[in-house]
Amino acid sequence: MTSLNKESINGTFGANVEPLKYNRFKKGITGGIVHFGLGNFHRSHQAMYLDRIFASIENETEWGVVGVGMLPADIPIRDAMKEQDCLYTLHEKAPDGATNIRVMQAMVEYIYAPDNYETVVQRLLDPKIKIVSLTITEGGYILNNRGEFIQDHPTVKEDLVNPSLPHSTFGIIIEALSRRRAANQGKDGNAFTIMSCDNLRHNGTQAKTACLSFAKLRDPELAKWIERNVPFPSCMVDRITPAMNPDLRASLNAKSGINDKIPVVSEDFVQWVLEDKFGYGRPPFEKVGVTMTDNVEPYEEAKIRLLNGAHTMVSYPAFLSGHRKVDEALHDPLFKDFLQGFMNEDAGPWLSNLPGMDLDSYKGILLSRFGNAAIGDQLSRLCLDGGSKIPGFLLPTIKANLNKKGTCHRIAYLLACYNHYIHAQKDDNGQTFELREPSTWPILEPIIASKDPLTLLKDTHYVADASDSPQFVKDYLLCYEHISKGIKEGGGARKTLENLETILGGK
């Protein structure tokens, strides 16, 4: 099996691998983007678009990615990036199983921040760095469901004690901007664009809120300088990218013939709609398929309400019912009908003003993508960090339905499944699983400690004021009661969904 490194890309890989269109080391690509959160999604999406640019435009060399890892889980990526000279393979799989394998070369450097946080700050001071991009998950922005910065968050308090030695993403960014401002003697300019690529509504606005709020606590004048000098473009990103595991890694490497420690697999579909608001230059994204626009919101709303919302809706019910793959759930008529009902009756009616998008066609494409067995997307990935995903992806739909109809029985059922999931930590068949809620654990812990199922609804982080709707509360409690009974008593997540209309009085 061929190694993957600077030396090996001078040769030829196997017949299953797309021939290289350029050599990063010979081309002389340099870092122009620092990216926080170098997970699978970034490497299949933003880094892939940059790779397209380097492959197709001869004189583009300044937009290489400097990846930054912040978490202990990033240690294997750090080690692999060092061993493989920041190279990796991307396996793009179509629903019919056809696979395109490419060696990705957009990454030029990787820094694991806990090894030396100051190294990251210094890298951000390089004037060649013109964009700082983020995929740090919903919880990484330290905002509540009203979009307000959580000032008493432990991460914030720790960095404010010693701001020149920050340990958090925004602490590091703000310290770098503070030093850039000082080097410019307080004058305007000498900053960089901050580009959120997370699945958040108005992600640019949320990044701006987090950054300015953090900076204001430290130095109000610095916050004013950042507001004048740092653009925060919003974007909509879309590509289903499953989590990796040893068996999947081995099968991918067997197909490519490359011994890759960090391969990535994704669907063949990809989309990026990006607000054209950059202050210090940007790559020619429009030349490689990115939609550049002045208004991201219509695309964003359709994607978050339908794709991310549907992913969240199917996650806990299907997982508790015993399914482990998303495509398996979509080929189960019970869950396919459940999602179609959600899209058509709960989320879809509130969408409008979608330029160039046919809503019914979009829904059909989403269901087809979810059913792509070739990528083997895991339900456990969708279940990760529900405390962030539920308010981020479902809250506007909950509010719209409660304001109009007074209830929303599918979402009531979903929340009941989630509450059972976090309390029981076993599925309908008695199989146990690990609860993974890293971003919102402080909020979730008292809910788990409570035996009252209403504690979840009373926490405004999740569902705002939904607990004020008597019918919604009644539907939720009925669903929770039936799910908690278990299979022997005629309950469980699947049985409850099969009989949902009867349980809720013919809704």
pLDDT by residue (tens digit) across 33-45? 999 999 999 999 9
User: Which residue in this structure is represented by tokens 């054209």?
Assistant: 276
Is 319:379 a contact under the CB 8 Å cutoff?
yes
The per-residue pLDDT for 355 is: 64
Give the pLDDT confidence score for residue 139 in this predicted structure: 84
d(CA 415, CA 313): 9
Q: Which residues pair with 2 in a beta bridge?
A: 258
Q: Has residue 337 got a pLDDT over 70? A: yes
**Architecture in CATH for domain 297-503:** Orthogonal Bundle (1.10)
Residue 489 has pLDDT above 60, yes or no: yes
Q: What is the pLDDT of residues 253-269, one digit of tens each?
A: 999 999 999 999 999 99
**What was the pLDDT predicted at 158?**
94
For strands 193-196 and 264-267, give the pairing. Answer: unpaired
Q: Which residues pair with 103 in a beta bridge?
A: 89
* Torsion angle, alpha carbons of 387, 392, 393, 395, to 10: 90
Query: Which tens digits make up the pLDDT trace of 494-504?
Result: 999 999 999 99
Give residue 43's pLDDT.
Answer: 98
Q: 265, exposed or middle or buried, with CB in 10 Å at 0-12, 13-18, 19+?
A: buried
- Report DSSP letters for 169-221, one per residue: HHHHHHHHHHHHHHHTTT-S----EEEE-SS-TTHHHHHHHHHHHHHHHH-HH
Helix (H, G, I), strand (E, B), or coil: what is residue 112?
strand
pLDDT, position 492: 95
Q: How many residues does the chain have?
A: 507
Q: Which of 126, 93, 113, 185 is nearest to 371 (CA)?
A: 93
148-157, 429-438, 454-463, 475-484: the lowest-pLDDT one: 454-463
Supply the pLDDT for residue 230.
Answer: 98
Q: For residue range 130-173, list pLDDT tens digits in order.
A: 999 999 988 899 998 788 999 999 999 999 999 999 999 999 99
Enumerate the β-bridge partners of residue 426: 432
Q: What is the pLDDT of residue 407?
A: 85
| Confidence band, pLDDT 50/70/90 cuts, at residue 354 | low
pLDDT at 488 over 70: yes
pLDDT at site 495? 95
Tell me the C-alpha distance between 451 and 166, whole Å.
39
458 is written with which tokens? 């009373």
Give pLDDT tens digits for 10-54. 888 989 999 999 999 999 999 999 999 999 999 999 999 999 999
Q: Give the Cα separation of 186 and 169 in Å (integer).
A: 23
The whole-number pLDDT of residue 506 equals 63
Q: SS3 for 418?
A: helix
Q: Where are the domains of the chain?
A: 2-293, 297-503
- pTM for this predicted structure: 0.86
Rounded-to-integer distance, Cα 468 and Cα 458, Å? 9
User: What proportion of the chain, given as a percentage, has pLDDT over 90?
Assistant: 83
CATH topology for the 2-293 domain: Rossmann fold (3.40.50)
Question: Looking at residue 356, what is its pLDDT?
Answer: 67
Q: Where are the alpha helices (DSSP H) in 219-343?
A: 220-229, 246-256, 297-302, 309-321, 326-330, 333-341
CA distance 20 to 15: 12
Mean pLDDT of 85-91: 98
Place of tokens 């990454």: 107
Quickly count helices (H) and strands (E) in the chain: 24, 13
- 347-351 contact pairs (CB < 8 A, 24+): 347/305, 347/306, 347/309, 347/310, 347/397, 348/305, 348/306, 349/400, 350/305, 350/396, 350/397, 350/400, 351/301, 351/302, 351/305, 351/306
Mean of the pLDDT values across residues 279-308?
Answer: 94
Judged against a pLDDT cut of 60, whether residue 507 lies above it is answered with no
